[in-house]
Amino acid sequence: MNNKIIVNLFYKNRDASLVFFAVFLLFSIIQFSSGNLAGNDSHLYIKLAEMTKNQGLIKEFPWLNSTVMNSSFTGLHFLYYFFLIPFTFFGNLIFGAKLASLFFFSSMVSMFYFVLKTLGLKHNLFWCFLLLSSSGYFLFRMNLARPLSFSVIFLLLIFYALVQRNNFLLFITSFLFVWAHASFPLSVVFVFVFVFVNYMHKK
């Protein structure tokens, strides 16, 4: 029964799924063209994920003794560490971090396509292509093993929930967003802008 549900879900959203696999395959060429991991923070996040897997919730991080977190460590992106944990089982953290960045970036582009399709926009593949060709710096940032593309997924889900008037999804996504990335106040901005636009439209 569960397999049928998964197959039906995949079939109904096969276009978004194909976008996911296309982006994943395309950018895997770039990711694995080097054995190194881009960005300094990428190493930190995948290591924090491994530490969370091995010892649970991290309450102390002595390597930050020269920062404001020297006495009380707070994981600002705890949910991201948690989602990174499956990628620490490959035995090579750099390989796992590369896979994670590919997975979350591909998921973000796929979610972008899904939202466009839900809104009834035309030429969705063109808009995805425009997104991918908009800025080299954007692509570089999105392909780091950092919670950047991860946070954009939450913003897209919040936008989708607002458009669909799905208050439950909005509540769950907003709640999880707080634990996922420090940019969660943007969800409040999204809500106010959406309410304002609706008000002006009905006026």
Question: Domain residue spans in the chain?
Answer: 2-39+97-202
What pLDDT, on a 0 to 100 scale, did the predictor assign at position 30?
84
User: Residue range 65-81: average pLDDT?
Assistant: 71
What pLDDT, on a 0 to 100 scale, did the predictor assign at position 10?
53
**DSSP output for 135-158:** -HHHHHHHTSSSTHHHHHHHHHHH
User: Residue range 159-187: average pLDDT?
Assistant: 87
3-class SS of residue 58:
coil
**pLDDT higher than threshold 80 for residue 56:** no
Q: Is 67 left (phi over 0), alpha (psi -120 to 50) or beta?
A: beta
Q: Are 46 and 87 in contact (CB under 8 A)?
A: yes
pLDDT in tens, 114-139: 988 888 888 888 988 888 888 888 88
Which whole-number Å values give the CA distances from 103 to 84, 89, 97, 147, in the listed order? 10, 15, 10, 12
Q: How confident is the model at residue 157 (pLDDT cuts 50, 70, 90)?
A: very high
Q: How confident is the model at residue 5 (pLDDT cuts 50, 70, 90)?
A: very low
**pLDDT higher than threshold 60 for residue 2:** no
- Phi first, then psi: give them for residue 69, nearest 5 degrees: -100, 20
Note the pTM of the prediction, 2 decimals. Answer: 0.83
Maximum separation of any 2 CA atoms in the chain, in Å = 59
What pLDDT, on a 0 to 100 scale, did the predictor assign at position 192?
87
- What's the CA gap between 126 and 75, in Å, rounded? 38
Q: Are 78 and 176 in contact (CB under 8 A)?
A: no
- What's the CA gap between 152 and 183, in Å, rounded? 10
